[in-house]
Structure 1
Amino acid sequence: MPLHPAAPDDLGGLLDAFEQVVQAIVDLGWACREEDFDKPTENPGWTVKDHFVHVVATEKAFAALPREPLNPPNPSDVRGQFDRIVDVEVAARRQWTGRSVVSELADFHQHRMSQLRGLDLVLESEIAGFFGDHTTFGDQLRAQITDTWVHEQDLRTALDRPGDLDSPAAAVFTSAIIDALPLIAVRDAGIQPGHGILLDVTGPVLARGGARVVEDEHGQPQGEELFSGQDRPEGEEPLDVTTIQLTTEALTRRAAGRRTTDDIHCTITGDRDTARRVLDALDLLSPSRGSAGAPRAGNSLPS
């Protein structure tokens, strides 16, 4: 079943999704009282204000703006470098009021969206990326939308202001989870050939997607889309499919690594151990994933 609402797949739609998700964060900030900025969030050790600072930091890293110098990082620890950049940004605004941070974000985001819409790039344009030496404009934009939407939901949870679970950014995030399932099932969950996993997302973003694990030509486990339409060899053993049914909110909180498998509600049909292993591995913001988390420092889109 395709996602409903569908994730945007054109440049204009992705730019609109990015603009909307940051504007939603700005609007949340304007509605905060100053004491709200000190509230804890589901991201351990982070306050509400820290999330606003993080969004400012990633927007400015995304735009390749100059910043305070840092010690040279270990080349194998790119995410560590990004974490240090965020720490610098947080420290620089330690004495700021929360509303001052929101004001900075609001002003910069308006300017940045004008820049992004004026770039002579298409989704397939190759750029230096936060998640490796090179990526495409489209993939980097999706990653930025995904990360920013997670922080919007962190803020909404902390401030008890639920919403935007059916937004274009929510659809982009859900689409990323569905697309990653074949890799997650084999590499991270260790599901063996002959098994399949189906995610049934009940809304507000409706989605159904899955992965089947088969043997490749070398006899090694290989994940593929459950509904890929590929013909399987005649006589192959029937597939043992486990279904996990859960809401958009439960899925995305788990896939953002904000809640454990035990902290979310879901309904499982089939093998509970298979479901558990997949849910435990379902963390798109894990440092090892490198596909849907916070932007990595040192590379950027054109400013």
Structure 2
Amino acid sequence: MPLHPAAPDDLAGLVAAYQQTTQAVVDLGHSCSEADFALPTACPGWTVKDQIAHVVGMESWLHTGRVPQVEVPDYDHLRHEAGQFVEREVELRRPVAAAKVVAELETVAAQRVAQFTAPGVTLDTVVRGAWGPAPLHRSLPTRILDIWTHEQDIRQALGRPGDLDSGGAAVFMDLLFASLPRLVAKSAQVPPGNVVIIESTGPVQGRAGVWVESQDDGKPRGIPLFSGIAHDGDPDDVFTTITLSTDALTRRAAGRGGVDDIHFAVQGDPAVARQVLEHLVLVP
């Protein structure tokens, strides 16, 4: 079942989704009091202000390539080198007034939109990405996913839900559904002979499935369902359907909270469903 609303796949649509979710972070920031900025979020060690600082820091680095030279303390929430790198931009802005951080994001986001919409730029134009140079058709959706995820972190902390039917939400869901074969067969290690279907009830509605088969080496391999790819099904295959909302699905896929923190319904094998949900983490 195609996503509804569908994720944008043209440059104009992707830029609009990027612009909308960055503007949403800016607007949320403008609405915050000092107490709001200090609220903790689902990212360990990060406040609402830190979330905004992370977004502006990443976009600034991707735009300019400049890495801030700042000493990062040995925070408990930093567990790997990538986390240390990301924390530099947040640490740089901790002494800065929150309103100035929000204003900086507004400026940097406008610069990024100008970069994406410059004459001659196409989806194949290579730009600086979080994991190295990449064409816009790959790098822009991942930036939308990341920023929209942090927008939702901020909304959750502030108690102001929204944008669950936006272009950013649809991009997140599209990338998640495309990754399901890997997440189900390799991350969750669901054994061959199982079919796992995930249904999102909305606001972004969609249905995706994975049939798990055995490779020559005995390891499970995920084959996407509903994609036009034929497979030799077995009448003994065990079907498990997990049904949940866009909010619950994207929070779990963002690694925010545990399985017991979301509401979902299961038809089929509850153990398989839990195994999938435990490993259904798309955002590192």
TM-score, shorter chain, exceeding 0.5: yes
Q: Please report the TM-score for the alignment, with normalisation by the length of structure 1.
A: 0.85
Greater displacement, 99-108 / 10-19: 99-108
Which amino acid is 1:266 matched to?
A: F
CA distance in 2, matches of 1:66, 1:239: 52
The change in CA–CA distance for 1:255 and 1:233 in structure 2 (over 3 A counts) is closer
Root-mean-square deviation (Å): 2.0
CA distance in 2, matches of 1:280, 1:253: 12
Cα contact 1:185–1:278 (8 A) shared by 2: yes
**Count of residue correspondences:** 277
| Displacement of 1:81 | 4.6
Aligned: 1:268 with 2:266: yes
CA deviations on 1:76-96 (whole Å, 9 max, x unpaired) are xxx945433332222222222
Distance in 1 between residues matched to 2:34 and 2:160, nearest whole Å: 16
Identity level (%): 43
Structure 2: segments with no counterpart, 5+ residues: 72-78
Question: Which gives a bigger RCO, structure 1 or 2 (Cα 8 Å, sep 6+)?
Answer: 1
Whole-angstrom distance in 1 between the partners of 2:129 and 2:119? 16
Structure-2 change in CA distance of 1:175 and 1:26 (3 Å): same
Structure 1 pair 115–230 and aligned structure 2 pair: CA distance change class (3 A): closer
Residue 116 of structure 1: CA displacement?
Answer: 1.9
Report the Cα distance in structure 2 between the residues aligned to 1:169 and 1:181, rounded to whole angstroms.
19
Shift of residue 100, structure 1, vs aligned partner: 1.3
For 2:75, the equivalent position in structure 1 comes to none
Alignment of 1:17-166 (within 5 A): 17-69=17-69, 80-118=80-118, 120-127=120-127, 129-131=129-131, 133-166=132-165
Partner of 2:213: 214
| 1:134 positional shift | 4.9
Contact 2:240/2:272 (8 A) holds in 1: yes
Q: 1:114 to 1:255 in 2, by over 3 A?
A: same
Q: Counterpart of 1:111 in structure 2: which amino acid?
A: Q
1:210, distance to aligned residue in structure 2 (A): 0.9
Between the aligned partners of 1:16 and 1:232, the Cα distance in structure 2 is 37
> Are the aligned partners of 2:52 and 2:101 in contact in 1 as well (CA < 8 Å)?
yes
Q: Residue 20 of structure 1: CA displacement?
A: 0.5
* Residue in 2 that maps onto 1:199: 198
In structure 1, list runs of 5 or more residues that go unmatched: 72-78, 287-303
Displacement of 1:219 = 4.7
Whether the aligned pair in 2 keeps the contact of 1:5 and 1:171 (CA below 8 Å) is yes
- 1:66-109 Cα deviation digits (max 9, x unpaired): 233479xxxxxxx9454333322222222222111101111221
Q: Is the 8 A contact 2:26 2:106 kept in 1?
A: yes
Q: TM-score, normalised by structure 2?
A: 0.91
Instruction: Show the 5 A alignment for 1:228-243.
Output: 228-233=227-232, 236-243=234-241
Letter in 1 for 2:7: A
Change in Cα spacing, 1:127 to 1:106, as seen in structure 2 (3 Å) is closer
Distance 2:117 2:81 in 1: 28
Query: 1:204-260 CA deviation, whole Å, 9 max, x = no partner?
Result: 0001111111133555421111223333348x3442110000000000111000121
Structure 2 CA distance for partners of 1:87 and 1:218, relative to 1, 3 Å: closer
Quote the Cα distance in structure 1 between the aligned partners of 2:84 and 2:169.
28
Contact 1:54 1:86 in 2 (8 A): yes
Change in Cα spacing, 1:270 to 1:96, as seen in structure 2 (3 Å) is: same
**Deviation of the 1:125 alpha carbon:** 3.8
